[in-house]
Amino acid sequence: MNIRTATRLPSLLFSVPTRSFSTSRCRFEHFHGADETTFSRVTSATKTNERVVLVDFYADWCGPCKALSPVLEKLAGDVETKTGSGRPIDLVTVDTDVHGSLAQKYQVRALPTVVAFRDGEPVKQFVGALPEGGVRKFLEEV
């Protein structure tokens, strides 16, 4: 290595192009089969102050629940889906056969029942398998 190369070497090291990556929060999170601890954490006021959390109370044996779940997942994951408050959506699914105490606490009497949480409080709910248009209308009212 001669003196010319040695003086150019530091400048060559710094001129190498670099890529930087950054991440942002996901459009939505899906907490499938949430237990009471996860449910409490996800529906808390700190978690729902900037988001709407939809809680889907379901059972594996429930036919209408199986019809509604893909609709909720599709809408929650769609960037174009808007709530009336303009907040993004997270989805929590609670198996009522496993976590019956949560279903009792929110007076779930039929399946599926979907409860929307905003600012740590349940603000609206619907019962039964709604078509996609019905769920969109529900989200506009939240």
Return the active site residues. Answer: 62, 65
* Residues 44-63, mean pLDDT to the nearest whole number: 93
The pairing of strands 113-118 and 121-127 is: antiparallel
**Given this model, what pLDDT does residue 4 score?**
55
**Given this model, what pLDDT does residue 22 score?**
45
The answer, yes or no, to whether residue 126 has pLDDT greater than 50, is yes
**Given this model, what pLDDT does residue 28 score?**
73
**What is the three-class DSSP state of 30?**
strand
* Residues 45-69, mean pLDDT to the nearest whole number: 94
**Given this model, what pLDDT does residue 121 score?**
95
Domains along the sequence of the chain with CATH: 25-140 (3.40.30.10)
Average pLDDT, the chain: 86
* Range of weakest confidence among 14-23, 90-99, 110-119: 14-23
DSSP strand E in the chain: where?
30-31, 52-58, 89-95, 113-118, 121-127
**Given this model, what pLDDT does residue 128 score?**
97
